[in-house]
C-alpha cells in the first residue's frame, strides 16, 4: 500500500471516468513546502501567514515578509501559490490585552476585520504580497469576509498601496488575482455576491462548520456535534460551488474537510474540482479519487442530500466512501 501511494504521487488526480481535479497543499511555514511537493501537490492552496506574526514582540515589516514569501516562491519553482492575508484573532490570537478582553473572539475583531481596523498592520502585508506576485504565480486570499463593504474597502486599500509601490519604484504585479475565503454562513449564502467581484473563492470548512452549527471549533466539550456532513453544511458547500459555476469563478476548498478521505467522493459528487489540504492527506485523497467513477457516486450523493435520518445518512456516507467503482 505504501509503495502504491508513492507511485500515486506522480499520477494525475483524475477519476476512472476521466474527471480531473486540482490538488494543492496547505502550508504554514517555509519548511512545509518540501513536504507538500513530495506528496505531489501542484501548488499551495493556502499559505497561512499569521505564523510570521506569532511568538514575537514586534510585527514583521514589508521587507521581512517579502523575504519569507520569496523563499517559498523559490522552493515552489513556478507552481502557483495562494497567500492568505492575516487571519489573526480567535483560535490564532496574539497574546495581547485586547485579545483577552474580547468576550467572543470568534465573533470579534479577527482576520479581515482586524486588518481593516488597523491599516498600519494590513498595508505592509498587502504590499509584500503584491511584490511577491512579481516573483512568481502568486494570488492573494482574504479570510473571513462577511460583507461586500469589507471587500470593497480591501480592494480600495490594495489600489492605494499599488499606487504607493509605483511611486516608490518597487516591482509588483498589478494584475495579481484576489480571492476570498467563504467561511462565514452569510458569505456562503451570498456567495454570488462575492463570486461577482473576486477572482476565486475558497471554502474554509473549519470556520464555516463552526459558525453554521454554532460549535466552537476548539472546545472539546462540543466536539461531538462538529459534523462536516450536517445537511446545512452540505447545502452551503453545494451553493458556493454552484455560485462559482454561475460566475465562472474557480472554487476550491482548504478546510480540513478537503483532506478527510471520508468526504472526498462526496465533495466530488457535489461538484468540487479543487482541494487544498495538509501534506499527510494528499496521497490518500488522490488515490481515492483515482479509484472513483464520478457517474457511480452522483446518485448516492443526491440521495444523501435528501435523506434526513442521521443513522441512514451515516450509512450512506460510508457507502459512498467504500463503494467499489
Binding residues for phosphoenolpyruvate: 48, 84, 206-207, 217
Q: Please state the closest distance from residue 109 (CB atom) to ligand PEP, in A.
A: 15
What is the bridge-based pairing of β-strands 274-277 and 138-142? Answer: unpaired
**161 vs 198 by CB, closer to Mg ion:** 198
**207 vs 287 by CB, closer to ligand PEP:** 207
Interface with Mg ion by CB under 5 A: which range of 23-31, 77-85, 200-208, 317-325?
200-208
Closest CA to 49 of 84, 73, 23: 84
CA distance 260 to 264: 7
Given candidates 13, 27, 32, 48, which one binds ligand PEP under the rule CB under 6 A?
48
**150 vs 183 by CB, closer to Mg ion:** 183
Closest CA to 60 of 114, 140, 121: 121
Q: Kindly report the number of other CB atoms within 10 A of residue 289's CB atom.
A: 26
Instruction: Decide if 254 is catalytic.
Output: yes
Given candidates 40, 180, 204, 300, which one binds Mg ion under the rule CB under 5 A?
204
Q: Cell triple for residue 288?
A: 481515492
* Contact status: 207 vs Mg ion (CB under 5 A): yes
* Contact status: 260 vs Mg ion (CB under 5 A): no
CA distance 282 to 35: 10
Asked if residue 37 lies in contact with residue 67, where contact means CB atoms within 8 angstroms, the answer is: no
Q: Using CB under 6 A, which residues numbered 203 to 222 contact ligand PEP?
A: 204-207
Which residue, chain included where needed, has cell 445518512? 313
Q: How many residues bind ligand PEP (CB under 6 A)?
A: 10
DSSP state of 107: G
Q: Applying CB under 6 A, which residues contact ligand PEP? A: 46, 48, 87, 183, 204-207, 254-255
Which active-site residues does the annotation give? 254
Amino acid at each position: 500500500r505504501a509503495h502504491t501511494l508513492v507511485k500515486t504521487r506522480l499520477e494525475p488526480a483524475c477519476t476512472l471516468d476521466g474527471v480531473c481535479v486540482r490538488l494543492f497543499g496547505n502550508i504554514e511555514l517555509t519548511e512545509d513546502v518540501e513536504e507538500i511537493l513530495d506528496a505531489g501537490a501542484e501548488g499551495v492552496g493556502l499559505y497561512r501567514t499569521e505564523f510570521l506574526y506569532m511568538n514575537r514582540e514586534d510585527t514583521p515589516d514589508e521587507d521581512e515578509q517579502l523575504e519569507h514569501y520569496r523563499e517559498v516562491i523559490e522552493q515552489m519553482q513556478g507552481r502557483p501559490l495562494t497567500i492568505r492575508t492575516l487571519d489573526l484573532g480567535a483560535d490564532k490570537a496574539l497574546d495581547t490585552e485586547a485579545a483577552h478582553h474580547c468576550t467572543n473572539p470568534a465573533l470579534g475583531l479577527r482576520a479581515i476585520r482586524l486588518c481593516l481596523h488597523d491599516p498600519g498592520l494590513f498595508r505592509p502585508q498587502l504590499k509584500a504580497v503584491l511584490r511577491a506576485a512579481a516573483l512568481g504565480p502568486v494570488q492573494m486570499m482574504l479570510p473571513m469576509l462577511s460583507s461586500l463593504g469589507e471587500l470593497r474597502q480591501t480592494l480600495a486599500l490594495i489600489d492605494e498601496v499599488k499606487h504607493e509601490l509605483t511611486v516608490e519604484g518597487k516591482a509588483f504585479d498589478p494584475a495579481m488575482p484576489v480571492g476570498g475565503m467563504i467561511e462565514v454562513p452569510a458569505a456562503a449564502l451570498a456567495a454570488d455576491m462575492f463570486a461577482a467581484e473576486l477572482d476565486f473563492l475558497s471554502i474554509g470548512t473549519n470556520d464555516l462548520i463552526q459558525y453554521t452549527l454554532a460549535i466552537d471549533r476548539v472546545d472539546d466539550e462540543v466536539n461531538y456535534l462538529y459534523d462536516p456532513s450536517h445537511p446545512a453544511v452540505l447545502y452551503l458547500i453545494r451553493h458556493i460551488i454552484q455560485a462559482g459555476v454561475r460566475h465562472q469563478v474557480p472554487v476550491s476548498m482548504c478546510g480540513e474537510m478537503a483532506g478527510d478521505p471520508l468526504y472526498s467522493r462526496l465533495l466530488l459528487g457535489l461538484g468540487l474540482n479543487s482541494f487544498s489540504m495538509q501534506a499527510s492527506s494528499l496521497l490518500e485523497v488522490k488515490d481515492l479519487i483515482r479509484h472513483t467513477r464520478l457517474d457511480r457516486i452522483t446518485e448516492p450523493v443526491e440521495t444523501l442530500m435528501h435523506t434526513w435520518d442521521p443513522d441512514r445518512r451515516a450509512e450512506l456516507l460510508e457507502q459512498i466512501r467504500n463503494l467499489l467503482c
